[in-house]
Amino acid sequence: MRYYLVDQIREWQPGTMIRGIKNVAMSEDFLEFHFPGNPIMPGVLLLEALSQLAGWLEAAGSNFQQWFILDQVKRCGFYGFALPGDQVELELTLLESSTPDRRCYQGIGLVGKRKKIVAELEGLLVPLADLEDPEAFRRLFNYLTRTQGM
């Protein structure tokens, strides 16, 4: 991945839900061009942060054997901007319409108590080893959950 858009995982329950944080920092290169003089985190990157959070939930719940790949956005609404200095609280819940090889999630991103994104995502489960080194991802997950250092 070029961008890791989840800075911390605060809570997770395998096969159920996950909560994480995205800190929007002025030093992120995408803010230089979106938009010059008025930096705003692109909404599609908030959607990607939710998708990555789903990947982390699937990885942790499968002993780092699986990852979630987004292939459908069923619904998505944006409700304002995430700006430099904001901390976006992300929450994702597994929906009952999920199957053994596909997952459906409902997610929300909040800054304070204000909604920034609400989305329903669907995607495939793929072997993590086909994409990344599972052990490296296990170490990164441990760091993101603050269970041990990298």
Residue numbers annotated as active site: 34
Radius of gyration of the chain (CA): 15
Q: How many CA atoms lie within 13 A of 5 on its CB side?
A: 25
CB contact set of 42 (below 8 Å; sequence gap of 6+): 30, 34
Give 85: exposed, middle or buried? Use CB within 10 Å, 0-12, 13-18, 19+. Answer: exposed
- Cβ–Cβ under 8 Å, residues 4 and 45: no
